């Protein structure tokens, strides 16, 4: 059986050009970029070349970029780094975030709360948008950071980040955005967005896993969260992952061209599914959404069962529910949109990428229609059933 | 479209892993499914060193996944924690508080493993399921009924927990280990070089890691904000003498001898517990003997029902040797069991399972 990948918001395959670039630099770079000798200098040249290239893609200064191990570390560095500095210097820290952030942001915020900070979690509207006015109202004299993602990985909604950042900065707070789902897929300019901190990852846009970066606007200071050598201007200790940085820069500079036609495929999938399958609804903001993402609720179906059923038909998708082991709650993102638990459990996320074709999309539409028909037949109301107590 | 796909319930233990290997070797198209039923980290005050190795711990899911990888079969973890809590844990707690001694494994089989799991099988397009239970299913062409029979390895037989299975459930269930002994199954796991071949067996109720039921109930109620059970009461001898006090009738089960905290010249056993008055009645061994019991919610398996009194052997707890008795039909789907020889510690809440030779005729809950 052939297998087709429609889960690019979880991770994407490494783009062919990026793979070559990664393999080459693993082979070429043998030195430690912090060493003073010939080998070290060669590694340092590669690293700084990657930093300049990435800065070119993001419209920033190379010195404003810190390489990290990925989006999660970048989020942690931004939130813990800014928050701990404020706590250390003033004894107070107030952080504002939204209810639909990635766990890397939400859990870094709750960690900061344990360390003495105060947290405000903003609601979102029915399509997942954060209201700039809400940010304004949440600000306090001790607010050190507002963290709102650029786009949501589950429903694809793109936040009005420029407006949100403006609101935060006018109130004297720094603004961080997790842009892991957008950077590398679409052109993103740090200056145009007007943000202070931005998390970037490599593997959602054709780069390798295990590498990312944090944009830190010139003048913004934060405490390091990893302690060791003086790498990355004392902001991130650890021997630099030069091949990873090179591949990250390549993926992000080449990505947007590869992802350019995806919206058409996504729309074809969406039209096909909504037309073929009764009892379906679209989630997220149709007017401002990631071009590759479609999140659909299927009445009376368990998203988990749907994912399994499609997988056995050769199509990899993801359910809206957070199905990491141990988690039983439906997706916090979908619940924050105002959905009830049962509807939230009925949602499936399709996220496309450059490797998908019209034929694959048409095949997926058929498979979805088949799966839904089958699941509705065998299990008319899978989640409402009450158990009799014998 | 998935011809003869079989869903294997994989717990990460030796038995279900061996089932997966067997089905795969026989050339079946199989998918492995692990049900995540209970979060072992949920009531941390109960944690023991053994907790991490418990059923449904992350380690077990890891083991199940490793076996599925080894056998190159599709594998999925499905979270049924909410259903498990509703249909197994809550009734377990309620039963204890009402003075019964429940068997959660039977509820789990009836409402999760052979109910939700069959729905899961349906949803992935599998007609049949295979599990690592030690029991056999046969079809009787004369009666047209599906029959449940004891395992060949009687020391591992699990039919006592399976009497609730319906004809529909039995018709879709494979018990590939029913004809094997435990040593044979272990050998099979070794032969297949399964990663779990040397894994120890678990005997406790999966969500009570340390076997302390009363402690579990207190911790669970405490989590729900209900506070510990305030159920102090008297321990009374059946002749009417008050012998002492106890901290909750739910801490006692019929037949229990140890832990009464009473010094007496003769051995004393719990004869009954009354949750209303919180009285625990104790007495000598002979007082534990009962020659009859009434069972309700009867599920008939190899018989379609009971019209007239009939002879069977009745098992009243898991390791109890089935004892000859007459079954007498009562109104309301209940039956009376009249033992030839009085039986010790007939315990409300446990199952009474009716056997005829190796056939499981049916079963019900002891009132």
Nearest CA in chain B to A382: B119
Distance of alpha carbon A219 from alpha carbon A215, whole angstroms: 12
Burial category of B145 from C-beta neighbours within 10 Å (exposed 0-12, middle 13-18, buried 19 and up): middle
Tell me if A3 is assigned to some domain: no
Q: Identify whether the C-beta of residue A372 lies closer than 8 Å to the C-beta of residue A328.
A: no
Q: Which of B94, B110, B124 sits opposite A309 (nearest CB)?
A: B124
Quick one: A358 and A209 in the same domain?
no
Counted domains in chain A: 2
User: Is the Cβ of A381 closer than 8 Å to some Cβ of chain B?
Assistant: no
User: Is the Cβ of A374 closer than 8 Å to some Cβ of chain B?
Assistant: yes
Residue B125 and residue A370: Cβ atoms within 8 Å? no
**Looking at A161-165, A259-263, B118-122, B247-251, which range is the least confident one?**
B247-251
Give the pLDDT confidence score for residue B56 in this predicted structure.
60
Residues in chain A: 390
Task: Please determine, for residue A136, whether its predicted confidence score (pLDDT) is greater than 90.
Answer: yes
Task: Please determine, for residue A325, whether its predicted confidence score (pLDDT) is greater than 50.
Answer: no
Give the pLDDT confidence score for residue A367 in this predicted structure.
96
Tell me if A250 is assigned to some domain: yes
Provide the chain A residues 324-363 that lie in CB contact (below 8 A) with chain B: 325-328
Per-residue buried b or exposed e for A169-195, using 16+ beta carbons within 10 Å of the residue's own CB: eebebbbbbbbbbbbbbbebebeebbb
Distance of alpha carbon A159 from alpha carbon A264, whole angstroms: 22
User: Is the Cβ of B72 closer than 8 Å to some Cβ of chain A?
Assistant: no
Residues of chain A contacting residue B44, judged by C-beta atoms under 8 Å apart: none
Parent domain of A321? 261-378
Give which of B3, B112, B123, B299 to mutate to test A binding, by max A Cβ within 10 Å: B123
Distance of alpha carbon B12 from alpha carbon B9, whole angstroms: 9
Q: Which of A323, A378, A387 sits opposite B123 (nearest CB)?
A: A378
Mean pLDDT for A105-115 is: 97
User: Is the Cβ of B114 closer than 8 Å to some Cβ of chain A?
Assistant: no
Q: Which two tokens stand for residue A120?
A: 């405000």
Give the pLDDT confidence score for residue B49 in this predicted structure.
54
Of B216 and A78, more confident = A78
Q: Identify whether the C-beta of residue A97 lies closer than 8 Å to the C-beta of residue A126.
A: no
Give the pLDDT confidence score for residue A384 in this predicted structure.
33
Computed from CA positions of residues B58, B60, B66, B69, in that sequence, does the dihedral angle turn out positive or negative? Answer: negative
Q: Which domains does chain B have, with CATH numbers?
A: 5-132+176-191 (3.40.50.620), 230-283 (2.30.30.280), 290-366 (2.40.30.10)
Distance of alpha carbon A306 from alpha carbon A214, whole angstroms: 36
Task: Please determine, for residue A313, whether its predicted confidence score (pLDDT) is greater than 60.
Answer: yes
Q: Is B206 a catalytic residue?
A: yes
The tens digit of pLDDT for each residue in A351-385 reads 999 999 999 999 999 999 999 999 998 865 443 33
pTM above 0.90, yes or no: no
Quick one: A250 and A272 in the same domain?
no
DSSP A250-267: HHHHHHHHHTTTHHHHHH
To the nearest whole Å, the CA of B324 is away from the closest chain A CA by 26
Is this prediction's ipTM beyond 0.90? no
Tell me if A7 is assigned to some domain: no
Strand order in the sheet with B279-283: B242-246, B233-237, B279-283, B269-274
Q: What is the CATH number of the domain that holds A184?
A: 3.40.640.10
Task: Please determine, for residue A93, whether its predicted confidence score (pLDDT) is greater than 70.
Answer: yes
Q: What is the CATH number of the domain that holds A374?
A: 3.90.1150.10
Distance of alpha carbon B100 from alpha carbon B347, whole angstroms: 7
Nearest CA in chain B to A301: B123
Residues of chain B with pLDDT under 50: 1-2, 51-53
Q: Which two tokens stand for residue A226?
A: 């990893």
Task: Please determine, for residue A302, whether its predicted confidence score (pLDDT) is greater than 90.
Answer: no
Give the pLDDT confidence score for residue B327 in this predicted structure.
96
Among A256, A273, A305, where does a domain finish?
A256
Computed from CA positions of residues B240, B245, B251, B256, in that sequence, does the dihedral angle turn out positive or negative? Answer: negative
Q: Identify whether the C-beta of residue A143 lies closer than 8 Å to the C-beta of residue A97.
A: no
Would you place residue A324 in the very low, low, confident or very high pLDDT band (cuts 50, 70, 90)?
Answer: very low
> What percent of chain A lies above the pLDDT cut of 70?
94
Among A231, A256, A281, where does a domain finish?
A256
Residue A390 and residue B123: Cβ atoms within 8 Å? no
Q: Which of A328, A370, A375 sits opposite B82 (nearest CB)?
A: A328
Percentage helix, strand, coil for chain B under 3-state DSSP, each rounded to 5 = 30, 30, 40
Q: Which two tokens stand for residue A252?
A: 């992000």
To the nearest whole Å, the CA of A313 is away from the closest chain B CA by 9
Quick one: A94 and A169 in the same domain?
yes
Quick one: A218 and A205 in the same domain?
yes
Q: Which of B76, B90, B123 sits opposite A379 (nearest CB)?
A: B123
Give how far Cα B217 sits from Cα of A386, A387, B93, B221, Å.
23, 21, 6, 6
Quick one: A295 and A328 in the same domain?
yes
Mean pLDDT for A238-246 is: 95
Q: Which of B2, B86, B120 sits opposite A387 (nearest CB)?
A: B86
Q: Which residue has the tokens 């009716």?
A: B354
DSSP B168-236: HHHHTEE-TTTTS-HHHHHHHHHHTT-TTTTPPP--S-TT-TTS-HHHHHHHHHHHTT--S--B-EEEE
Distance of alpha carbon B31 from alpha carbon B36, whole angstroms: 16
Give how far Cα B51 sits from Cα of A227, B10, B43, B104, B204, Å.
34, 19, 11, 18, 11
Quick one: A36 and A89 in the same domain?
yes
CB-CB neighbours of B241 under 10 Å: 9
CB-CB neighbours of B308 under 10 Å: 7
Tell me if A6 is assigned to some domain: no
Residues of chain A contacting residue B39, judged by C-beta atoms under 8 Å apart: 326, 328
Tell me if A234 is assigned to some domain: yes
Q: Which two tokens stand for residue A249?
A: 């820069």
Residues of chain A contacting residue B86, judged by C-beta atoms under 8 Å apart: 387
Mean pLDDT for A8-33 is: 93
Distance of alpha carbon B175 from alpha carbon B150, whole angstroms: 11
Nearest CA in chain B to A373: B123
- For chain A, count helices (H), then strands (E): 14, 13
Residue B119 and residue A379: Cβ atoms within 8 Å? yes
Quick one: A217 and A333 in the same domain?
no
Give the pLDDT confidence score for residue B37 in this predicted structure.
86
**Looking at A67-71, A323-327, B49-53, B267-271, which range is the least confident one?**
A323-327
Give the pLDDT confidence score for residue B255 in this predicted structure.
85
Quick one: A303 and A240 in the same domain?
no
Quick one: A73 and A51 in the same domain?
yes
Quick one: A169 and A244 in the same domain?
yes
Would you place residue A3 in the very low, low, confident or very high pLDDT band (cuts 50, 70, 90)?
Answer: very high
Contacts of B98 (CB under 8 A, 6+ apart): B275
Quick one: A221 and A296 in the same domain?
no
Nearest Cα to Cα of residue B315 among B348, B345, B353: B353
User: Is the Cβ of B198 closer than 8 Å to some Cβ of chain A?
Assistant: no
Alpha helices in B35-171 (DSSP H): 58-70, 81-84, 90-97, 104-108, 117-124, 167-171
Among A225, A256, A287, where does a domain finish?
A256
Quick one: A232 and A293 in the same domain?
no
Q: Could you list the active site residues of A? A: 323
Q: What is the DSSP letter of A183?
A: B
């Amino acid at each position: 059986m052939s297998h087709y990948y429609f889960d690019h918001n979880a991770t994407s395959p490494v783009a062919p050009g990026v793979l070559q670039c990664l393999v080459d630099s693993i082979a070429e770079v043998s030195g430690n970029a912090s060493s003073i000798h010939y080998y070290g200098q060669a590694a340092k040249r590669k690293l700084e070349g990657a930093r300049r290239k990435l800065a070119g893609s993001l419209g920033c200064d190379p010195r404003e970029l810190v390489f990290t191990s990925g989006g999660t570390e970048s989020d942690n560095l931004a939130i813990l780094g800014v928050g701990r500095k404020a706590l250390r210097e003033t004894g107070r820290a107030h952080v504002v975030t939204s209810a639909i952030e990635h766990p890397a942001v939400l859990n870094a915020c709750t960690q900061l709360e344990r360390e003495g900070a105060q947290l405000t979690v903003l609601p979102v509207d029915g399509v997942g948008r954060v209201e700039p006015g809400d940010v304004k109202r949440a600000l306090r004299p001790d607010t050190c950071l507002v963290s709102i993602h650029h786009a949501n990985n589950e429903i694809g909604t793109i936040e009005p980040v420029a407006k949100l950042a403006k609101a935060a900065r006018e109130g004297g707070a720094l603004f961080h955005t997790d842009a892991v789902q957008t950077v590398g897929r679409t052109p993103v300019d740090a200056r145009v967005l007007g943000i202070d901190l931005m998390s970037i990852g490599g593997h959602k846009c054709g780069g390798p896993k295990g590498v990312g970066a944090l944009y830190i606007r010139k003048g913004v200071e934060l405490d390091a969260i990893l302690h060791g050598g003086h790498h990355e201007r004392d902001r991130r200790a650890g021997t630099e992952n030069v091949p990873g940085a090179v591949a990250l820069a390549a993926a992000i500079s080449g990505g947007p061209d590869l992802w350019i036609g995806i919206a058409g495929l996504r729309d074809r999938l969406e039209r096909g599914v909504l037309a073929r399958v009764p009892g379906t609804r679209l989630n997220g903001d149709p007017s401002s959404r990631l071009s590759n993402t479609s999140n659909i609720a299927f009445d009376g179906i368990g998203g988990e069962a749907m994912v399994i059923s499609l997988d056995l038909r050769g199509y990899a998708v993801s359910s809206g529910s957070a199905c990491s082991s141990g988690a039983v709650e439906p997706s916090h993102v979908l619940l924050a949109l105002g959905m009830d638990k049962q509807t939230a459990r009925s949602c499936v996320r399709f996220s496309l990428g450059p490797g998908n074709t019209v034929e694959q999309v048409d095949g997926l539409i058929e498979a979805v229609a088949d799966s839904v028909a089958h699941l509705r037949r065998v299990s008319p109301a899978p989640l409402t059933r009450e158990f009799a107590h014998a | 479209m998935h011809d003869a796909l079989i869903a294997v319930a994989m717990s990460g233990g030796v038995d279900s892993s061996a089932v997966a290997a067997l089905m795969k070797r026989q050339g079946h198209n199989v998918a492995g499914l692990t049900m995540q039923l209970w979060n072992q980290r949920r009531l941390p005050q109960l944690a023991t060193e053994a907790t991490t190795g418990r059923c449904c711990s992350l380690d077990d899911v890891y083991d199940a996944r490793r076996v599925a990888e080894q056998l190159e079969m599709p594998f999925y973890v499905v979270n049924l924690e909410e259903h498990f809590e509703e249909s197994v844990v809550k009734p377990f707690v309620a039963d204890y508080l009402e003075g019964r001694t429940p068997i959660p494994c039977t509820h789990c089989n009836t409402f999760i493993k052979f109910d939700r799991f069959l729905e899961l099988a349906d949803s992935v397009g599998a007609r049949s399921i295979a599990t690592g239970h030690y029991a056999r299913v046969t079809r009787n062409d004369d009666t047209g009924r599906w029959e449940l029979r004891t395992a060949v390895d009687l020391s591992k037989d699990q039919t006592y927990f399976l009497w609730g299975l319906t004809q529909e459930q039995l018709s879709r269930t494979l018990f590939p280990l029913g004809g094997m002994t435990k040593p044979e199954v272990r050998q099979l796991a070794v032969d297949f070089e399964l990663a779990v071949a040397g894994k120890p067996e678990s005997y406790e109720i999966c969500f009570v890691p340390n076997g302390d039921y009363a402690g579990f109930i207190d911790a669970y109620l405490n989590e729900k904000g209900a506070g510990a059970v305030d159920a102090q009461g008297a321990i009374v001898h059946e002749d009417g003498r008050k012998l002492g006090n106890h901290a909750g009738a739910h801490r006692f089960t019929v037949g229990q001898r140890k832990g009464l905290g009473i010094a007496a010249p003769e051995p004393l056993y719990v004869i009954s517990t009354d949750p209303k008055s919180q009285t625990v009645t104790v007495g000598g061994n002979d007082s534990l003997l009962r020659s009859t019991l009434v069972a309700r919610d009867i599920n008939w398996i190899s018989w379609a029902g009971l019209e007239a009194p009939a002879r069977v052997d009745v098992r009243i707890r898991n390791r109890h040797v089935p004892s000859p008795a007459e079954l007498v039909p009562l109104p309301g789907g209940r039956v009376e069991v009249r033992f030839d020889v009085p039986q010790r510690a007939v315990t409300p809440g446990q199952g009474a399972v009716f056997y005829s030779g190796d056939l499981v005729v049916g079963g019900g809950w002891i009132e």
